[in-house]
Amino acid sequence: MSHLVSTLHLYNIANVKRVVADLSLCNTHSQVLAFTGPSELADCLKDMNVMVIPAGVPRKHGMTRNTVNSTVPIAAQVLKKKGVYDPKKLFGVTTLDVVRANTFISRKKKLKHIIVDVPVIGGHAGITILPIFSKTKPSASLTDEEFQELTVSDSECWN
């Protein structure tokens, strides 16, 4: 989110394209690039000051993401206890859903992404993600068709 970051390279032994796609939604001018496997590691590290390495395994059919919902609040409490909490430096699945909702609304309504704020409540798994479009700032009304497109359970927006 810092204006000092112009390029962000992500590396993993498995595909990181989804992570790159999600981070590319952040309201910043930074370029986000994916690097996968040992053959791309040198290119990933070239001229980099900071690198994010996603870990874990891709979600399989039937698996949910709900347990990760507690990660950010737990991390926030640990950082607060240590006296080093900065909400601008802690991102997680809740932030991702907010960024996604902000992006969808800004694109649909042709608004500057940086000014859009859509509150999101609920979990981080399909139908448990609840963007509160009626509370969007600046106010942006959706047609029934737009609302349906952004909220249907099998929508690519949230999966």
Strand 31-36 versus strand 120-122 pairing type: unpaired
Instruction: Please report which residue ranges of the chain form alpha helices under DSSP H.
Output: 17-23, 41-45, 71-81, 93-108, 144-151
Q: What are the structure tokens assigned to 150, written together?
A: 């952004």
Helix (H, G, I), strand (E, B) or coil at 150: helix
Across the chain, where does the E strand assignment appear?
7-12, 31-36, 120-122, 129-131
Rounded CA-CA distance 102/95 in Å is 10
What are residue 69's phi and psi, to 5 degrees?
Answer: -60, -30
Is 9 an active-site residue?
Answer: no
Annotated catalytic residues are: 124
